[in-house]
């Protein structure tokens, strides 16, 4: 019985890893490369966007690591296997007092 449970567990783990590896990431366009990096609010919410089109975020009770990031129509969407978040771009990345900032959903994020 323990052997069957181990086989099922390993099979599920391999399946999840295969699905995660098949995330449809598309490299950022030249105009969207300005969004690449880790952006953090003063209350700990953060998003990270990679040049290869990958992304991660943590907010409230949700966290995604290694998902796909899509930037289109004044939104940033980051998701993986049905867990996702959409951030509305109120103000595109801008430099202020030597720091890069972006305003999403009314919150200011600072590039780390």
- The per-residue pLDDT for range 19-47, each reduced to its tens digit, is 444 557 899 999 999 999 999 999 999 99
In a domain, 62, yes or no: yes
- Asked, for residue 19, whether it belongs to a domain, the answer is no
What CATH number is attached to the domain comprising 99?
2.40.128
More confident residue, 5 or 15: 5
Q: What domain range is 29 assigned to?
A: 25-111
Q: Give the 3-state secondary structure of residue 95.
A: strand
Q: Looking at the 3D structure of the chain, how many domains does it have?
A: 1
10 lies in some domain: no
- Tell me which of 5 and 89 has the higher pLDDT: 89
Q: Are the beta carbons of 59 and 85 closer than 8 angstroms? A: yes
pLDDT, tens digit, for every residue of 92-102? 999 999 999 99
Task: With respect to residue 4, please indicate whether it lies within any of the assigned structural domains.
Answer: no
In a domain, 47, yes or no: yes
Residue 8 lies in a domain: no
64 CB-near residues (< 8 Å, 6+ apart): 55, 56, 57, 78, 79, 80, 83, 84, 85
Q: What does the alpha-carbon distance between residue 61 and residue 86 come to, in Å, rounded to a whole number?
A: 14
**pLDDT the model gives residue 1:** 65
In a domain, 17, yes or no: no
């Amino acid at each position: 019985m323990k052997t069957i449970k181990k086989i099922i567990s390993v099979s599920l783990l391999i399946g999840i890893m295969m699905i995660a590896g098949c995330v449809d990431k598309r490299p950022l366009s030249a105009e969207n490369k300005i969004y690449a990096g880790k952006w953090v609010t003063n209350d700990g919410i953060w998003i990270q966007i990679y040049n290869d089109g990958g992304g991660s975020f943590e907010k409230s009770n949700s966290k995604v690591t290694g998902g796909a990031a899509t930037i289109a129509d004044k939104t940033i969407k980051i998701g993986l296997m049905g867990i996702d978040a959409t951030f509305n771009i109120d103000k595109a990345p801008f430099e202020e007092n030597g720091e890069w900032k972006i305003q999403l959903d009314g919150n200011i994020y600072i590039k780390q």
